[in-house]
Structure 1
Amino acid sequence: MQKQLQQITTNMQLEEHYLTLEKALLALYFHKNCTTKSLAHTTDLPIPLVSAMKKEFAKQGWGKHSLTKKGQLAISEYFQLSGADATLYLQLTTDDAFRTEWITQNTRELSAIYNARPTADVAIDQAKCTVETALKRALLALDYTMLLNKRILCLGDDDFISIALAFLLNKIAPHSTTQIVVLDIDKRVLSMINKIAKDYELPIKTVYYNVQDPLPKTYTHQFDCVYTDTPYTLIGAQLFLSRAMNALKPEAMRHVFFSYAKRSYQKQWQLQQSLYAMGFVIDSIRYDINTYEGAQILGAKSQLFVLQTTEQMTPYIPNHLMFTRPIYTGEIDQKTVVYRCIHCQHALTVGVGYQYTTIAQLQSNGCPNCANKKFAQMKRIVQKTHFQHIVGHHILLELHDCNVALLNDVQRIKTIMCQAAEKAKAMVVTEHFHHFSPYGISGVVIIQESHLTIHTWPEYGYAAIDIFTCSSKLDLQEAVQFITKKFNAGNVTQHYLHRGK
């Protein structure tokens, strides 16, 4: 059936992908009858496209406004819906009040399992989410048509999202062929999930995996969606998302449900720049889902990004080599806190590498001298690793609608680029420019602090310019403004990158 859906996508010249057709077919299956307007709302497609889609369904013999018996059988087999609870599916996807009550009821049912989870290992940025959060995250797979007849990866699962997913799956479609795989570095977590999966006959497979190693070929390009709650560092998020990208099927509109600590506007901008550079589309950012138990560093909350893949996916970190840089908060921001016992005045240091990594652990065990459980903070030290140092500043300048004659004049371009370097107060070392036949110029100005480069396409009125420096003292914007003015560009964009961070 997947090939038929792909063919329909081609016939319709549909940009969205055949997964949109899956969403429409599930709506027809469970709702029994759907108007063109309601399907447009469900699929986010314009009404003319929905009409064309329904005609294509009718050509296959599946029905138009409602499914034929052939259509019902085909969809039931494709999504493995034998024994599915249609009422529950409809209520969870259309009734917000019922959905809230369902989460409350099932939170009580799962609490015993979740309360027995291993303690959080703060050295690898673990923070256990609440049962309610786990169920809300699981329901996202239902909302985005990623639950039925899919392969789901949980990349790092101290939150036990795999358990919530399998639990939801059994409630809605107990005979579904959906597979859930957990890759995690914490053997305690893997052991407990594995035991629960066996005891409750859940479709979960657990595998030990260190995300700093390349993703095994067995799991490359195999999954429809990925759940990941990454370390609280930018580089940690970039690494986990790169591995998630390697795990997803190489098609557009696959999903990553990505949880990450809410940060300052500057750090949020850096994160979203990374997501854009990797080729992700941010479908939504949810602030009403993630709540954690005792996660003071997060304020007990975090944001959840719903990411969609595109045809332009590029992992930030390649999969063929082991990644050796620190990725966890305790490695990058090496924090130690000295506490004093209120009763006997004994001083203890808490942090990664010491007997107690958190104050909660110290309070639980009590003072080793007198067993008192109350402490006062004396001193707090945070030391950043040298990996946070920026070694280069890089501006990517896009000039459109430029003076066409200028774009093919090698002497004038050489003069402008050398003058731009001087405007930035850089020291020019040498330069080289080449005029291609019949048109187009490439050139470089080597400066003591790095370089400026240019490539022109006169036939498009376009020039691509890079300004790169290892010095923070140069005035790069002076160079940008000078170049923009001289090329008489009608449309200018620039991207700023930190290099070596």
Structure 2
Amino acid sequence: MQKQLQKITTDMQLEEHFLTLEKALLALYFHKNCTTKSLAYITNLPVPIVSAMKKEFAKQGWGKHSLTKKGQLAISQYFQLSGADAKLYLQLTTNDAFRTEWIKQNKSELNIIYETRPTADVAIDQAKCTVETALKRALLALDYTMLLNKRILCLGDDDFISIALAFILKKIAPHSTTQIVVLDIDRRILCMISEIAQKYELPIKTDYYNVQEPLPKTYAHHFDCVYTDTPYTLIGAQLFLSRAINALKPEAMRHVFFSYSKRSYQKQWQLQQSLHAMGFVIDSIKYDINTYEGAQILGATSSLFVLQTTDQMTPYIPNQRKFMRPIYTGEIERKSVVYQCINCQHSLTVGAHHQYTTIVQLQSSGCPICKNKKFLQIKRTVQKTQFQHALGHHILLELHDCDVALLKDVQRIKTIMSQAAHKAKATIVNEHFHHFSPHGVSGVVIIQESHLTIHTWPEYGYAAIDVFTCSSKLDLQEAVKHITEQFNAGNATQHYVHRGK
């Protein structure tokens, strides 16, 4: 059936992937009857496209506004819906009040399992989410048509999202062929999930994996969606998401449900720049889903990004070799906190390389002098590793609507670029510029601190310029200002990139 859906997508020249057709067919199956307008609302497609889609369904003999017996059988077999609870599916996907109540009623069933989770290992940025959070996250797979007849990866799973996914799956479609895989560095997590899966006959497979190693070929381009709650560092998030890209099937419209701690606006901007560079579309950001048990570093909450893949996915970090840089908070930001016992005033330092690495451990053990379990924070220090400092500063300058005659003048361009280097207070080492036939100029000014480069397209009135330095003392903006003015650009944009950070 998937080949038929792919052919319909091609025949319709549908920009959306065939997964949109799956969503439409599931709606027809569970709702029994769908008007064109209601199906357009469900699939987020324009009415004319939905109308054309229905005609294609009718050509296959599946039905138009409602499914034929042939259509019901085809969809039931494709999604393995034998014994499916249609009423529950509809209520969970269309009724927010029911969904909230259903979570409240069912979380007690999972509480027994979740209470047995291993203690959080803060050295690898673990923080256990609540049962309610796990169910809310798992239900997102249902919302985005990523639960039935799919392959789901939990990349790190101290939150036991795999258990919540399997729990919901058994309630809705007990005979589904959905496969859930857990990859984690913590063998305690893997062992416990494996035991639970075996005991309750859940479709979960577990395997040891250190995300700093390349993703094994067994799991490459294998999954429809990925769940991941990454380290609290930007580089940690970039690495986990890069591995997620490697794991997802190459077609567009796959999903990553990505949880990340709330950060400053500047750090959120850096994160979103990374998401854009990798090719993700941010479908939505959920601020009311993630809550954690005793996670002070997170403020007990985090954001959940629903990311959608495109045809231009590029991992931020390649999958060819082991990633050697530190990725966890404790490695990058070495924190130590001095606490004072409120009873006897005895002071202790908590942090890496100390007897107690977390305040939770100290509170559990109690003051070594009087056994009191209440403490007052006295002092907090943070030492960042050198990886936090950029090795280079890079401006990508885009100049549109420039003086066309100037874009062809190799000598004038050479002069402008040399002057720009001087204005930045750089030391010029060498210069080389070349005029191409019939038009276009490329050139480089090698400076002691790095380089300035240019390539022009006179036929488009456009110039692409790089200004790069490994010295924080140069005034790059003076160079950019001079270049922009001299080329008389009608439209200039620049992108600032920290290199080696």
User: How big is each residue's C-alpha offset from its partner over 1:364-395, in whole Å with a ceiling of 9 and x where there is no partner?
Assistant: 11123442323333432211111111111101
SS of alignment partner, residue 323 of structure 1? coil
Equivalent residue, structure 2, for 1:278: 278
Equivalent residue, structure 2, for 1:229: 229
SS of alignment partner, residue 183 of structure 1? strand
SS of alignment partner, residue 402 of structure 2? coil
Equivalent residue, structure 1, for 2:9: 9
SS of alignment partner, residue 106 of structure 1? helix
How far apart are the structure 2 equivalents of 1:342 and 1:103? 40
Q: Give the superposition deviation at 1:344.
A: 4.6
Equivalent residue, structure 2, for 1:289: 289
Q: Give the superposition deviation at 1:341.
A: 3.5
Within 5 Å, give how 1:282-361 maps onto structure 2: 282-361=282-361
SS of alignment partner, residue 100 of structure 2? helix
Question: Counterpart of 2:211 in structure 1: which amino acid?
Answer: V
Runs of 5+ unmatched residues, structure 2: none
SS of alignment partner, residue 34 of structure 1? coil
Greater shift, 135-144 or 52-61, is seen at 52-61
Within 5 Å, give how 1:29-108 maps onto structure 2: 29-108=29-108
Greater shift, 312-321 or 416-425, is seen at 416-425
Q: Give the superposition deviation at 1:130.
A: 0.5
Within 5 Å, give how 1:36-435 maps onto structure 2: 36-435=36-435
SS of alignment partner, residue 90 of structure 1? helix
SS of alignment partner, residue 405 of structure 1? helix
Equivalent residue, structure 2, for 1:491: 491
Equivalent residue, structure 2, for 1:27: 27
How far apart are the structure 2 equivalents of 1:61 and 1:182? 39
User: How big is each residue's C-alpha offset from its partner over 1:238-275, in whole Å with a ceiling of 9 and x where there is no partner?
Assistant: 01001111100111111000000010010011100111
Question: Counterpart of 1:104 in structure 2: which amino acid?
Answer: K
How far apart are the structure 1 equivalents of 2:199 and 2:176? 18
SS of alignment partner, residue 286 of structure 2? strand
Q: Give the superposition deviation at 1:157.
A: 0.3
Greater shift, 228-237 or 425-434, is seen at 425-434
Greater shift, 381-390 or 253-262, is seen at 381-390
Q: TM-score, normalised by structure 2?
A: 0.98
Using a 3 Å threshold, how does the CA distance of structure 1 residues 378 and 97 change in structure 2: closer, same or farther? closer
How far apart are the structure 2 equivalents of 1:400 and 1:255? 36
How far apart are the structure 2 equivalents of 1:285 and 1:374? 37
Q: Give the superposition deviation at 1:357.
A: 1.3
How far apart are the structure 1 equivalents of 2:44 and 2:375? 56
Equivalent residue, structure 2, for 1:450: 450
SS of alignment partner, residue 223 of structure 1? coil
How far apart are the structure 2 equivalents of 1:242 and 1:394? 23
Sequence identity percentage: 85
Question: Counterpart of 2:278 in structure 1: which amino acid?
Answer: M
How far apart are the structure 2 equivalents of 1:188 and 1:272? 33
Q: Give the superposition deviation at 1:438.
A: 1.5
SS of alignment partner, residue 380 of structure 2? strand
Q: Give the superposition deviation at 1:75.
A: 0.7
Question: Counterpart of 2:313 in structure 1: which amino acid?
Answer: M
Question: Counterpart of 1:305 in structure 2: which amino acid?
Answer: F
Question: Counterpart of 2:124 in structure 1: which amino acid?
Answer: I
Question: Counterpart of 2:460 in structure 1: which amino acid?
Answer: Y
SS of alignment partner, residue 363 of structure 1? helix
How far apart are the structure 2 equivalents of 1:286 and 1:468? 37
Question: Counterpart of 1:93 in structure 2: which amino acid?
Answer: T
SS of alignment partner, residue 135 of structure 1? helix
User: How big is each residue's C-alpha offset from its partner over 1:48-67, in whole Å with a ceiling of 9 and x where there is no partner?
Assistant: 11111111111111111111
Q: TM-score, normalised by structure 1?
A: 0.98
Runs of 5+ unmatched residues, structure 1: none
Greater shift, 430-439 or 472-481, is seen at 472-481
For the aligned residue pairs, the C-alpha RMSD in angstroms reads 1.2
Q: Give the superposition deviation at 1:345.
A: 4.6
Question: Counterpart of 2:218 in structure 1: which amino acid?
Answer: T
Greater shift, 476-485 or 370-379, is seen at 370-379
User: How big is each residue's C-alpha offset from its partner over 1:95-130, in whole Å with a ceiling of 9 and x where there is no partner?
Assistant: 111011011111121111111211111111111100
SS of alignment partner, residue 154 of structure 2? strand
Answer yes or no: is 1:462 the counterpart of 2:431: no
- Kindly tell me the number of residue pairs found equivalent between the two proteins: 501
Greater shift, 395-404 or 10-19, is seen at 395-404
